[in-house]
Chains A and B, each alone.
Chain A
Amino acid sequence: MRYLWILLGWLLFQNTLLSAPPVLAPVVPGKTFEFPEDHGAHPDFRIEWWYVTGWLETPANRPLGFQITFFRLATQTDNDNSSRFSPDQLIIAHVALSDPAIGKLLHDQKVARTGFGLAYAKTGNTDVKLDHWTFLRETDGRYQADIKADDFTMKLSLTPSQPLLLQGENGFSRKGPKAAQASYYYSEPHLQVSGAVSYQGKDIAVTGTAWLDREWSSEYLDPDAAGWDWISASLDDGSALMAFQIRGKDDSKIWAYAVLRDASGHVQTLTPDQVSFHPIRTWRSARTQAVYPVTTRIRTGETEWQIAPLMDDQELDSRASAGTVYWEGAVTLTRDGQPAGRGYMELTGYIQLLTM
């Protein structure tokens, strides 16, 4: 999903001449992160997200997957436009819940322009809102997510149990061969989740583990990029894994990256040539005819990971509203053949993009 909004953000620059065009900040190496300010929004950058994925467990020990994502997008709007409706910042949110008993995702999405206190991404600390959906970081570092989607609700509390993980070079994360193709990126793995979900008329108390990604940038994708594959996992031994690759239109690898932090806090980062994705089994969506490599082998340096989905159909089909289609779902991992833990995988660019 990140990818699609990045692409959209790209399109925003194809605009006409404005009397007072907004100026976007560049992503440069050597930034020193400051918290809690950097938990808050960075409206000078074109795109930014709060991206939570994770596994939940019901009192009956049934596993569920969930995703809560908020995007902030700066559009190319004339600064002279003093209307409170001026669409200079958009908030986009996607939420999903995977239950193998249902066999497909429950999901919902919203888009709104900021303003009137109805939708915003505040600076200073994490505080994003889109109508009745909120994601808030309290002063003690605990996140509160409150989502009332069409088919389900989630009210979750996410408590950090590990330090922040700055991606790339102290949070400067390259996304392509060019230096400007980069973002500021940090993660919070092993967030301890507790709360409740309700769907199909049932209220269920849940606990679990989640992963938060925070990323912002103004320009970062290679024009040849066709999609990307991404995975994050809070592993059973307390280590954390994140890997992604950006695919070209000819299915080649334009860029890749992985990081593995063990429970003791030792961080291993891997360069593009040390990371590779290898599809093992594909699944074809009957809805969209898109074919996703739902079972995949990932090599990070000497380590081989095998990824298997909680269920095959974790496709988000929002062609009717936002017009986007991608696969994002709960997966289990084995490390060199041994069960290693659970994570979330995102597969985008497997269907022709439909504009919204």
Chain B
Amino acid sequence: MSHLPVLELSDINKSYSDRKVLSGLSYSLSAGEYVAIMGDSGVGKSTLLNLIAGLDSPDSGEIRIEGKYLPVEDEAATSLRRKYLGFIFQAFHVLPHLTLLQNVSLPLLLNHLPLDRASIMLASVGLQGRERDFPHQLSGGELQRVAIARALVHRPRLILADEPTGNLDQDTSREILQLIRSEIKANQASAIIVTHSRPAAETADKILLLNRHGLAPVSLENRQ
């Protein structure tokens, strides 16, 4: 177990036109840590995720993933993202014309890794035997399982999940959140989950509240 932080944010500033979204944000995420970020709409949760993913760059400040500075240049940022990050979206975003196995294999292909782990991951999210199905044959919960498998298949160091249960009913949400947690832990990855839902946030190790002053820990006393 390394004690090196997986993610370090130091003094991040970001504005859109005249609106300041993030100012002076600093945070350090330890390896194996699973945190939830909550906050009001428009406070910059998605912006923060985009910055971490390298899909957007901060006006100032530094982001380090596994000790490496996140570059501004797209090609380099993409290659870093491809290797170290995994994503789970609210809208699943599964390619409709690829089979489940092919969908899960995408990160392996992009990282030039052997493909055998794709079916292992599918099985581990409970979709064994459905490798050749197409996304339109699946329910929403099942689609999100595919997305979880895809997010973890290439053993990324950090998972970014943006409202992973936003499109799901309550029962399925609970199931999916458990799965996300167990899979992240099983793969020894760190994770940041952005959510509005308190029950969802509470599956994390730690809840952080994002407001205009930065990230502040929230007490987990009320955790059931």
A and B touch in the complex (CB under 8 A): no
